[in-house]
Amino acid sequence: MVSLGSMKDNQVLLAFSTYATIVVVKMMLMSLWTSYFRLTRKVFANLEDTKLFSSTVDKKLVGVNPDVERVRRCHQNDLENVIPFVLIGLLYALTGPELSTALLHFRLFAGSRIFHTIAYVGALPQPSRGLGFFVGFGVTLSMAWTVFRTAFTH
């Protein structure tokens, strides 16, 4: 039986908090990476942002750049995968899994998403990125299955 009474007394919840925060912060850093590429490639999404580089607003600085779009696709893939992990992972942590099993799930997910980011932004040959994606996807489905099983047997 699991208690969420205090995070400090629940090893699985403490472990979940650590890994969930790691992957969410990693996801947030994609925003800064996009900004960095926008500034160095001088390609903006909003007219008012171009004033950072010219005395007047400059329509030529609004556009699409392949490096920026690649980081944005990676960010979007994080939104589509990291958020489900955190939502289902919290419910999973409340089902009272073994700490070792839970740690395996959390570490595999965090590792696979960091690898996915490197493979995506570095444009590594496939199936590198696909592998990173499917390992993370599988971990979340495995936790979802445990949540279902717990809900239907109680």
Interaction site with a copy of itself (CB under 8 A): 1-8, 13-15, 17-18, 20-21, 24-25, 27-28, 30-31, 45-49, 51-52, 70, 73, 75, 79-81, 83-84, 86-88, 90-91, 94-96, 120, 123-126, 129, 133, 137, 140-141, 144, 147-148, 150-152, 154
The 3-state DSSP composition of the chain as helix, strand, coil percent (nearest 5) reads: 80, 0, 20
Q: Could you tell me which of 108, 154, 98 has the C-alpha nearest to residue 134?
A: 108
- In our burial notation (b when 16+ CB lie closer than 10 A, e otherwise), range 123-134 reads eeeeebbeebbe
- C-beta of 8 vs 60, nearer to a copy of itself: 8
DSSP 9: G
The β-bridge partners of 62 are 44
CB of 51 to a copy of itself, least distance (A): 6
For 149, the 3-state DSSP assignment is helix
- Tokens for 126? 């496939």
User: Does 66 sit behind a cis peptide bond, omega within 30 degrees of 0 on the bond before it?
Assistant: no
Minimal distance in Å, beta carbon 67 to a copy of itself?
A: 12
Closest approach of a copy of itself to the CB of residue 128, in Å: 9
- By C-beta, is 108 or 147 nearer to a copy of itself? 147
Spatial contact of 95 and 146, defined as CB atoms under 8 Å apart: yes
- Nearer Cβ to a copy of itself (100/120): 120
- Specify the residue, 41 or 70, whose C-beta has the smaller distance to a copy of itself: 70
Closer residue to a copy of itself, CB minimum distance, 1 or 100: 1
**Least Cβ distance, residue 42 to a copy of itself (angstroms):** 14
